[in-house]
Amino acid sequence: MSTKKTFPPLVIGIMSAVAVSMTLSLGLYTWVLFIGWVSFFLFGKSLKQILLTFIQIVLGFGIAVLMLLNGHFLSGIVGGIGTGIAIVLVMTLFMYFVPKLKPINTIPAYFLGLITFFGTHPKLDVAEISVIIGTIMLGFAFAWVTENVNLRLAK
């Protein structure tokens, strides 16, 4: 087995172990870090694409916050169906407008933000949300380092 074939999986294994150990020791959501990591490989590895993808994930997170806040507001008016109505309204507007927002019109990236919000159930607190968003950034950083180490070893 050649070292060029051995090193990339080994680097990925080492970086994954470091990432998991770091998130566990810091009390972060490991899976949230991997949202950023996977996004790097799914949506593009250039600095521009990383930034655009990150922006869309954060906007998706914000859309989830809007759903929650609108759901609470409407539930105070119409009762238990308020959250459902809020989700229908926000998602309808989202699905109508986002495709028009080039170059930030990658709907799956927005959904990763929605998933992250609803999966972590954060308090609407700047500190807690900042840690979650920071964990996504950390995932992009781990992916970037992994990719660049493997590119250098391939030479």
Residue 117 lies in a domain: yes
pTM: 0.92
Residue 133 lies in a domain: yes
The pLDDT of residue 20: 98
CA separation for the pair 138, 143 (Å, rounded): 9
DSSP code at position 124: S
Tokens 């070893």 locate to 153
pLDDT beyond 80 at 143 = yes
Handedness of CA 4, 155, 52, 99 (dihedral sign): negative
Please give the tally of structural domains in the chain: 1
**Which residues, including other chains, have CB under 8 Å from residue 84's CB and lie 6 or more apart?**
71
Structural tokens at position 113: 């933000």
Domain region containing 103: 30-142
Phi and psi at residue 44, to the nearest 5°: 135, 145
User: Could you report the per-residue pLDDT of 64-98, keeping only the tens digit for each?
Assistant: 999 999 999 999 999 999 999 999 999 999 999 99
User: Could you report the per-residue pLDDT of 96-126, keeping only the tens digit for each?
Assistant: 999 999 999 999 999 999 999 999 999 999 9
Q: Average pLDDT over the chain, rounded to whole?
A: 95
